[in-house]
Amino acid sequence: MQFKNLKGIREDRDIRQKEIAAYLNVSQNTYSQYETGVISLTAEVLIKLADYYQVSIDYLLDRTDNPKLQK
């Protein structure tokens, strides 16, 4: 399953896969496979990405189009 919001938010902010991969301490290829759904995202990775982008996990997983965090 591809995650369009995960890829879209990275591209909208002009961030390269290599930069996010370094933040997550994974290879660029591994991060690319997260975006395309080849490798499943772990809870740890989802939390780090949500914190990095300051969006909800549901947004990253395409479960909503609203990136705002609900409190």
Tell me the whole-structure pTM to 2 decimals: 0.88
The domain segmentation of the chain, as residue ranges, is 4-60
- Crossing angle of helices 43-53 and 17-24, rounded to 10°: 120
Residue 61 has pLDDT above 80, yes or no: yes
Q: Summarize pLDDT for 14-59 with one digit per residue, the tens.
A: 999 999 999 999 999 999 999 999 999 999 999 999 999 999 999 9
- Specify whether the CB–CB gap between 34 and 41 falls below 8 A: yes
pLDDT at 47: 96
Alpha-carbon span 63 to 4, nearest angstrom: 11
Question: What is the assigned CATH class of domain 4-60?
Answer: mainly alpha
Residue 66 pLDDT level (bands cut at 50, 70, 90): confident
